[in-house]
């Protein structure tokens, strides 16, 4: 089953010649739940996270500049 909200976590490259990826470990059925879970994950791990729905990024953790910097690496 596919839900409308996805939480992506940045996984940095394992080697200097590799590229990192956005992994999608979770999907949520409501925006509030997706934002809540993303915030919990970020607080616990300090991971770079984004919440996406229909191709639009709704939230960034820790901030938009960090997420944009990571996406430039990809």
What per-residue confidence (pLDDT) applies to 74? Answer: 64
Report CA-CA distances (Å) from 59 to 5, 17, 42, 73. 11, 29, 12, 19
Alpha-carbon dihedral sign for residues 19, 22, 24, 26: positive
pTM: 0.85
What per-residue confidence (pLDDT) applies to 14? Answer: 87
Per-residue pLDDT at 6 exceeds 90: yes
Across the range 5-9, mean pLDDT stands at 97
pLDDT in tens, 8-57: 999 988 888 888 899 999 999 999 999 999 999 999 999 999 999 999 99
What per-residue confidence (pLDDT) applies to 16? Answer: 82
How far apart CA 56 and CA 31 sit, in angstroms, is 12
């Amino acid at each position: 089953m596919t839900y409308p909200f996805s939480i992506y976590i940045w996984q940095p490259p394992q080697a200097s010649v590799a590229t990192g990826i956005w992994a999608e470990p979770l999907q949520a059925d409501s925006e509030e739940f997706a934002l809540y879970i993303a915030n919990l994950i970020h607080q616990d791990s300090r991971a770079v996270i984004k919440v996406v729905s229909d191709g639009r990024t709704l939230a960034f953790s820790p901030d938009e500049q960090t997420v944009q910097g990571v996406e430039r690496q990809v």
